[in-house]
């Protein structure tokens, strides 16, 4: 295997994914891709007071997440891995699948929050969509304690 795509969501359980990625990374000789997908800012928030503040606040969040992704990549590079950090805005499942195809990854590593059947029925599940449409094997790490 050559390329591992690791999906990072910066949840409080993110360290679990990072630890798992390091455990299996030795078999991926060519590249580890760290992918973080964030929801884009809405085009229109309304005319209420404070919407500009919200956009500024989200910009700060995005900058902090991008910096955190770079730091995660630097840790892996320090351990001798070839790492490509990617920070994109869009729908998570679509972006994960598109990047998996674009970079011809051999495996996707991602966490699953396990919200339950009713939640998935009403809102859908990124993990479920990836399982249905992925072009390669997937390793799902349960994020519940």
Give the CATH number of the domain where residue 112 resides: 3.40.50.620
Tens-digit pLDDT profile for residues 48-67? 655 666 667 778 888 999 99
Rounded to 5 degrees, φ, ψ at 134 are -65, 140
Q: For residue 76, give its domain range.
A: 3-142
What total of structural domains would you count in the chain? Answer: 1
Between vectors from CA 136 to CA 35 and to CA 126, what angle results, nearest 5°?
A: 55
Tens-digit pLDDT profile for residues 65-78? 999 999 999 999 99
Annotate the chain with three-state secondary structure.
CCEEEEECCCCCCHHHHHHHHHHHHHHCCCEEEEEEEECCCCCCCCCCCCHHHHHHHHHHHHHHHHHHHHHHHHHHHHCCCCEEEEEEECCHHHHHHHHHHHCCCCEEEEEECCCCHHHHHHHCCHHHHHHHHCCCCEEEEECCC
Identify the band that residue 45 occupies on the pLDDT scale cut at 50, 70 and 90: low
């Amino acid at each position: 295997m050559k390329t591992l795509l690791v999906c990072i969501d910066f949840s409080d359980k993110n360290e679990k994914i990072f630890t798992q990625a390091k455990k299996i990374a030795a078999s991926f000789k060519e590249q580890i891709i760290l992918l973080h997908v964030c929801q884009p800012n809405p085009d229109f928030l309304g005319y209420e007071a404070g919407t500009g503040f919200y956009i500024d606040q989200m910009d700060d969040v995005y900058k902090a997440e991008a910096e955190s992704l770079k730091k995660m990549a630097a840790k892996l590079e320090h351990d001798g891995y070839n790492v490509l950090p990617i920070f994109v805005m869009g729908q998570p499942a679509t972006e994960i699948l598109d990047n998996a195809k674009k970079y011809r990854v051999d495996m996707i590593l991602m966490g699953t929050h396990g919200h339950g059947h009713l939640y998935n029925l009403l809102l859908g599940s990124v993990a479920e969509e990836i399982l249905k449409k992925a072009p390669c094997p997937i390793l799902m790490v349960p994020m519940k304690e």
